Chains A and B, each alone.
Chain A
Amino acid sequence: MRKTILAAVIAAVAGGAAVPVLADPPFDAKDPKYAPYIAGEKRSGYTFAEPETRAMQDDDFSNPGFLWVEEGKKMWSKVDGKAGKACKDCHGDAEKSMKGVGTVYPRFDPHANALLTLEQKINQCRTERMEAQPLKFDSKPYNAIATFVKHQSFGMPFAVQTDGPVAPYFDMGRRLYYERRGMSDVACKHCHEDYWGMHMRTELLSQGMPNGFPQYRLKWQTLGTAQKRIRGCFEEVRAEPYPVDSLENTVLELYATWRANGLRVESPAVRK
């Protein structure tokens, strides 16, 4: 709405152009204040967000994502499961032990002999070490513990691996990233590689960098993971989403996260 009004004002000033001009949020790659949100040509979704959304993310008290961080912090030292353990009992102080962990997932897990997202790794720990129930996808505790763990890497650059045992997953992720799907018959790359910076209606297309997940989305009015967002993208192009934690959704998360290598962890980010 704000944008529409602004655009109308600009159009009026410009002398009544037939079609209103969209006003993009401010961004200047040379301005040092944006340095934490760029890496070479890569731009965090932060730089595509409206100033109000950025301000909400910047202030820990106004950022709704911190409700999940706080909840996750409580879970960290709470005993759960038949083994009578809390995360803390094995991992100690999360600020030390989890620092940097959020920058390397999705990651190949030799124990599971599979590629795991951070959320899948947490559930593996719960079922196998704590002998607790796995947390249900997109539930409050599922999102909370993942956000808390990821937040311990805040400000650190992503560095997911793509070689060795990850190579076949990475190749599959790339293939899916470039595969057309849905009634709109587009691939991820069409919006996020070819046309970022352009507009679909009021939507300013971003580079699709997932460095803020789990993140609070104003559209959702809640926080969610990359797995959830990828499925949302499928819905938007009228494609049938792959199931949560399916191989397809996980390798897509891997490929998208690899694209963000070098950008910094912003979890919990705030986006529109």
Chain B
Amino acid sequence: MQTSITRLALAAVLAVALAGLAEAAPRKKAPERGYFDVSRMAPLTDQKGDPANGRKVAATKGLCVSCHVMPIPEQPDHGDVGPDLAGVGSRMQPPELRMRIVDPKVLYADTIMPSFYKSDLNRVKKGLEGKPFLTAQEVEDVVAYLATLK
């Protein structure tokens, strides 16, 4: 007990000292958004995701079944490029799912998976430039749907 209090106090002192140092050091550029940046974890919209619409988007516009086997039996010929998504809601939390849909290259630099909510893509077909694959609300709906797959 005694040691843990000492340690805590020491940690606090160190933290203050480091914060001071960080403030003193000139900041060259804004840090890149990394894995643990909360802005990647937060919902993209204020409106709560609609799982029913998310299921629809996964089967149609989102083309999720092109590469993933999903519990959407009325759609034939699911692809097998990506992992089977049955039970993915048990394996991952909504922020983890969101991050993988928005821009999976943050986690897997060489992945074949598209970034579904990124607008600065290379050489996009004329007329589609600057548009993300899905809208923010569609991403939230898909996240809500995937979270139900337990």
Binding site for B on A (CB under 8 A): 3-4, 7-8, 18-20, 22, 179-186, 190-191, 194-195, 198-203, 205, 234-235, 238-240
Contacts and interface: CB of A to CB of B under 8 A. Distances in A.
Contacts of B112: 186, 190-191, 194-195
A183 B62 CA distance: 12
23 contacts: A3-B77, A4-B76, A4-B77, A7-B76, A19-B69, A19-B70, A19-B73, A181-B121, A182-B121, A183-B124, A185-B105, A185-B115, A191-B112, A195-B112, A198-B80, A198-B81, A199-B80, A201-B66, A234-B125, A239-B124, A239-B125, A240-B125, A240-B126
B114 A186 contact: yes
A175 to B, nearest CB: 12
A240 B124 contact: yes
A218 to B, nearest CB: 18
B71 A240 contact: no
B69 to A, nearest CB: 5
A44 B76 CA distance: 27
A20 B121 contact: no
Contacts of A180: 121-122
B128 A20 contact: no
B124 A182 contact: yes
Given A18-B73, A19-B69, A185-B115, A198 B123 contact: no
